[in-house]
Amino acid sequence: MSMIKKSPWVSIFNSGGCKGCGLECITLITPKYDIERFGCLLRPSARHADILLVTGVMNKQSKARLKNIYEQMAPNKRVIAVGACAISGGIFQGAYNASKGIDKDIPVDVYVPGCPPKPEAIIDALLKVLKGFDGRKKG
């Protein structure tokens, strides 16, 4: 991996559902998984984040919030869809207010399937995103 100009900031956007995927994302900062060893810093605000982990099923309200957050993020932003609900609507697929995945609303760089996915799978997705991340605008 080439030299990273700055530590990527990671933020979690939980749009609803059972919160299982969000809890798995939170475990990434525990001593067992410690994503800081890869240079990632978890931040509560997505406004300055470089990487956004999106969990849960999208509905009309969360869709508008997610688009707003995405537009406010740093220009070199990356998005990881975490879990079945974020990818396809999961168990809520077909519900009147559920989206069929976040990629219908914002670009997604990496998908992490599972209900919920294991923390190791989320770390693998972060590493894939970090391979192409050097602190500059993507493209």
Q: Residue 139: its pLDDT value, please?
A: 47
Report d(CA 5, CA 99) in Å as an integer: 36
Sign of CA dihedral 18, 22, 27, 33: positive
Domain 9-131, CATH among 3.40.47.10, 1.10.3210.10, 1.10.287.3510, 3.40.50.12280 = 3.40.50.12280
pLDDT tens profile 52-86: 999 999 998 899 999 999 999 988 899 999 999 99
% of the chain surpassing 70 pLDDT: 91
- What are the sequence ranges of the domains in the chain? 9-131
pTM as predicted: 0.89
